[in-house]
Amino acid sequence: DQQVKQNSPSLSVQEGRISILNCDYTNSMFDYFLWYKKYPAEGPTFLISISSIKDKNEDGRFTVFLNKSAKHLSLHIVPSQPGDSAVYFCAAKDTSGTYKYIFGTGTRLKVLA
C-alpha cells in the first residue's frame, strides 16, 4: 500500500516558467513533509519542508503548499532553471510512535532551455 504517491513520473517545463510537482498521502499520522532533489549517481539532497501546522513554506524560488484536508502537497519552482532538472521525491514523517520517513516514487523534472 503506497502511503505517499507521486502520480506523475515525469514533467517537462520551459526555462523561466513555473514547475509544479504534486504529492498525495493517505496516512493522517504524517505531520511533517519534505521535498528532496536527486541527481544521477548522487544521494538525495534536502530542498524544503513543511510542518502540518502550516499551509505554505517558501524558500527562494521554491514554495511548498500543504492541503491537509485533501492530503495533498505540491512543490512550486519559479522560475524554473535548467539546473533544476532532476528527480524530485516527496517524503512524509510518521509520528505514530515511530520515526519513519516514507518516500514517494519520484517525479523526473526536465527544464528545457
Partner 1 sequence: DAGITQSPRHKVTETGTPVTLRCHQTENHRYMYWYRQDPGHGLRLIHYSYGVKDTDKGEVSDGYSVSRSKTEDFLLTLESATSSQTSVYFCAISPGTGAGANVLTFGAGSRLTVL
Interface residues toward partner 1, by CB under 8 A: 6, 32, 34, 36, 41-46, 49, 89, 91, 93, 98-106
| Residue whose CB is less far from partner 1, 25 or 36 | 36
| Residue whose CB is less far from partner 1, 42 or 83 | 42
CB-count burial class (<10 Å; 0-12, 13-18, 19+) for 22: middle
Tell me the closest approach of the beta carbon of residue 43 to partner 1, in angstroms.
Answer: 4
For 81-92, the DSSP string reads -GGG-EEEEEEE
